[in-house]
Chains A and B, each alone.
Chain A
């Protein structure tokens, strides 16, 4: 019985990971469909909370979410299995590509496609930045906008180590939460 659950967990995450292009949030609705609607292993509210944890933790959201689902369904062993299921498809695909990378890159057609696609990636990233930036400016609070501007200057022009910037901003976020909490104001 337990073995059956492990196999199901592995196959489900493997499939989801193999079909999730672009990474990130795309996998959350897919997981919801699979584990909440189809298999009934997780309740809907719980899935939303798990999503919040996956987003609040470092690393890829897809990996984090699969750890949580595996852990929830079958403990530590379950988490190991779902991580494996999530990581294997990209590991295999990228390995195959990188073995042919040299030939791949020297191929004229591929080169043309890659040049075009680089402009496409640039557009996708600008779109992501616009979307994320908008949600920060919409809050109409001075602090996040000041942090955004200062971080940009620090990373772009002063070449300050980004890990240091993240740590400083984490402290600012914690202090802000305490301050807002004391004021009894609403959360961010």
Chain B
């Protein structure tokens, strides 16, 4: 039952991606690349790139993409529903607790406990993506000198610009794409 598997995978992604935006990334990688053979690592890198370029949450974008690749439009709708169902339940529950007690200390404490782990997981997924960008493989090759120099330059400049001037990431993405095309043509 592919629909059930899709639903369950994205339900777990929705339930355990706590801490916004990029927190979903390592979970998606684990579900759709490592546990299920739905995407290759290079497709996963593609969808992260597309998700960054298009509006909407990363988790919803990936659910739609993976759903369509695996089981067409119904797959996309099912994966997306699975992904947002935990949010609906938990948010409503928390909201009703909040309106009754106006007290979220325990919730915030749990969140504070999870946050460092989320950072560690995003860092780990980030390292895999950096390796993909520099070498085209998810693990470092034996010969480290086969590095894609242009990608390293784009990465370094992008990172510097983001840190220094806090520019909107979408401009970094557009610039990176433009440099990629320019380099390919020249």
Contacts and interface: CB of A to CB of B under 8 A. Distances in A.
B181 A109 contact: yes
A155 B116 CA distance: 13
B126 A126 contact: yes
A21 B53 CA distance: 7
Contacts of A93: 54-56
Contacts of B170: 21-22
A147 B121 CA distance: 11
B10 to A, nearest CB: 11
A177 B105 contact: yes
B115 to A, nearest CB: 7
Given A119-B158, A162-B30, A49 B55 contact: no
Contacts of A9: none
B109 A94 contact: no
A3 interface: no
Secondary structure at the A interface, as helix, strand, loop or mixed, is helix
Interface residues of A, number: 94
Given A23-B58, A122-B130, A56 B107 contact: yes
A67 B109 contact: no
B125 interface: yes
A114 B108 contact: no
B87 A95 contact: no
B20 A20 contact: no
Given A21-B55, A61-B57, 20 more contacts: A20-B56, A55-B20, A61-B21, A95-B64, A101-B46, A101-B65, A112-B180, A113-B177, A115-B133, A116-B154, A119-B152, A121-B133, A122-B133, A123-B162, A124-B172, A126-B155, A129-B119, A161-B30, A165-B121, A188-B109
Interface of B: 12, 14-22, 24-27, 30, 45-46, 48-61, 64-65, 68-69, 73, 76-77, 80, 83-84, 86-88, 90-92, 94-95, 98, 104-127, 129-130, 132-134, 148, 150-152, 154-159, 162-163, 168-170, 172-173, 175-181, 183-185
